[in-house]
Structure 1
Amino acid sequence: MSESSGPNTDYETKRKQLSSECLDLCDDFSKFSDECSFLCDAFAAVAREPECITPPTSEGIWHVCYRLKIQIRDYRDKMDKILQGLRDLKPEQPV
């Protein structure tokens, strides 16, 4: 059996994969956070001028809010997957 295979290699491979997924998720979330900040400012501006909230504007706000909700769920699911991977990777503690 070569030294390049075995439990330590599997552990290291999984650890590197989880680290990469976590970094990618952090980068994506940072961009998403910037978009949310912009949208919050836009919604606040629209709320200051209620007469500009036409049916198409209202529909657009609903659509954006729905998209944000779906994206937040996607981030939560990705975080849960990474956390479960980390829990599975954690060495068992002696009893």
Structure 2
Amino acid sequence: MSESNSTSGDAPLDEEARREQLSSEFIDLVDDFSKFSEECAFLFDGFSAVAQEPESITPDTSEGIRHLCFWLKYEVIGYRYKIDELRERWKAIKREL
């Protein structure tokens, strides 16, 4: 009987711990995205500068731009995945309430 009470008593703690973990992960994601957006702003300024002087676009410059665009694309996909994952976990917690 005390085992049953202990289990039900632990449930709110587990739920609170899950919410705390999710909150912590969300804050980390926001911080990461903030840094990423700063990097993007820097890169976009660089792309704009290069585009204003197309004669400066060498094959190496072109390859660098291609590489950065590829990186940006997959970073955005990664953030979208992380956001969707957190959203689903948050919905699961809300359904349990």
In the superposition, the TM-score normalised over structure 2's length comes to 0.88
Query: Which structure would you say has the larger Rg?
Result: 2
Deviation at 1:71, TM superposition (A): 0.6
Deviation at 1:22, TM superposition (A): 0.2
Whether 2:26 is the aligned partner of 1:19: answer: no
Higher relative contact order (CA 8 A, sep 6+): 1
Number of corresponding residues: 93
Deviation at 1:27, TM superposition (A): 0.4
Deviation at 1:2, TM superposition (A): 3.6
Aligned residues: percent identity?
Answer: 53
The structure in which a higher percent of residues are helix is: 2
Aligned to 1:35: 39
Whether 2:83 is the aligned partner of 1:79: answer: yes
* Distance in 2 (alpha carbons) for counterparts of 1:8 and 1:66: 44
- Partner of 1:83, secondary structure, is helix
Whether 2:52 is the aligned partner of 1:48: answer: yes
RMSD, matched Cα:
1.8
Deviation at 1:44, TM superposition (A): 0.2
Runs of at least 4 residues of structure 1 off by over 4 A? none
Residues 24-77 of structure 1, C-alpha deviations (whole Å, 9 max, x = no match):
000000000000000010000000000000111001000001001111111111
* Distance in 2 (alpha carbons) for counterparts of 1:12 and 1:4: 13
Task: Give the residue type in structure 1 aligned to 2:50.
Answer: V
Q: Which runs of 5+ in 1 are unaligned?
A: none
In the superposition, the TM-score normalised over structure 1's length comes to 0.90
Aligned to 2:92: 88
Deviation at 1:4, TM superposition (A): 9.0
* Distance in 1 (alpha carbons) for counterparts of 2:77 and 2:9: 37
* Distance in 1 (alpha carbons) for counterparts of 2:11 and 2:70: 44
Deviation at 1:9, TM superposition (A): 1.2
